[in-house]
Amino acid sequence: MDETRWAPDGGELGRLWAAAAEAAGGAARGARTTYLDVQRAATTVAAEVDVEWPDGRRTAETFGAGTSSRARGALRMSDGVHEIGVWRFPYDPALPGLPRAFDAERMRSLLTRLGLDAAEPRLSVRAYRPLRRAVIEVRTPRTSVFVKVLRPERVEAVHRLHRAATGGRAPESLGWTDDGLLVLAGLGGRPLRRILLEGDPDELDPAELVAVLRELPAAFAEHTVRPDWADKARHYADVVSRVLPDAASTAHAVADAVVLSLATGAHRVQDPDWRAVLGRRLALAGRWCRGEGLLAA
């Protein structure tokens, strides 16, 4: 599969989803991009597609596409330059356990095997990163668990990490399967992401965040350190610029705010007005997160 950079525009994606829906036996009547990851080696994209079927029904279907080698097991299409793997959720070629995780009867069987309440399971997709992972919430009248769907070669290691953190604030692993399913117990409270995006960040106590980190096992520090989102801020800004050229200046301003906010004092004093600049850029970042004025840098 060709892994040269593929940065599709809206028109190209529209034609792709139309072809995918036709291959599935339906007709695309509209689409909304829900995920886009443009890396140097490969691109992955997903969309919610409004599909009309021959019997007149209309359903919202999630389709994915990618140029990564992990998409080789999917339906293959070409735009004349790139070879693209295309699939319909839950048949992600890199997540063989996802169809089982999204099947109520098969989840009933898995919960029963784990000794959990399996009556009347109701499923909902809580997260989906194509070719990487997904999270399916399984609710019954008495309990709620989260099934994390991973690439099979990763699931046992992640299970061991959760077991090592038992007793802290990480969800307990209740078991895993060979096809990449990790069953996690639910935890109470509000996710940090929700507080940051929907609440008032001032309500967060930094000391409490540090305490959570200190509860994690020391063994966690032995794992390879990966670049975090802040380290890749300018890369993400470049990606946004390629896909949404009109938002380029805003994206780079947000990235600069992230970098500046984490810089040491020595870096900050190079600009005597760094506090004012940072304030403006962080305000811009806040509007970006809330979907306000995305094209106004």
Q: Helices 274-290 and 248-262 meet at what angle, rounded to 10?
A: 130
Residue 182 has a CB neighbour count (10 Å cut-off) of 25
Domain count, the chain: 3
Residues 57 and 104 in one domain: no
Residues 81 and 139 in one domain: no
Residues 162 and 108 in one domain: yes
How many CA atoms within 13 Å lie on the side-chain side of 163? 11
pTM, 2 dp: 0.79
- Residue 238 included in any domain: yes
CATH number for the domain spanning 111: value is 3.30.200
- Residue 211 included in any domain: no
- Residue 196 included in any domain: no
Long-range contacts at 76-81 (CB < 8 A, ≥ 24 apart): 76/1, 77/16, 77/19, 77/20, 79/6, 79/12, 79/16, 81/2, 81/4, 81/6
* Residue-level pLDDT at 3: 46
Domain that holds residue 274: 233-290
* Domain edge (last residue) among 56, 88, 120: 88
Residues 139 and 177 in one domain: yes
- Residue 200 included in any domain: no
- 242-269 pLDDT, tens digit per residue, is 777 888 888 888 888 777 766 654 344 4
- Residue 195 included in any domain: no
* Residue-level pLDDT at 95: 97
Give the confidence band of 274 by pLDDT, cuts at 50, 70, 90. low
- 150-170 pLDDT, tens digit per residue, is 999 999 999 998 888 877 678
Residues 167 and 239 in one domain: no
- Residue 116 included in any domain: yes
* Domain edge (last residue) among 63, 88, 113: 88
Q: What is the mean pLDDT of residues 288-294?
A: 53
- Residue 272 included in any domain: yes
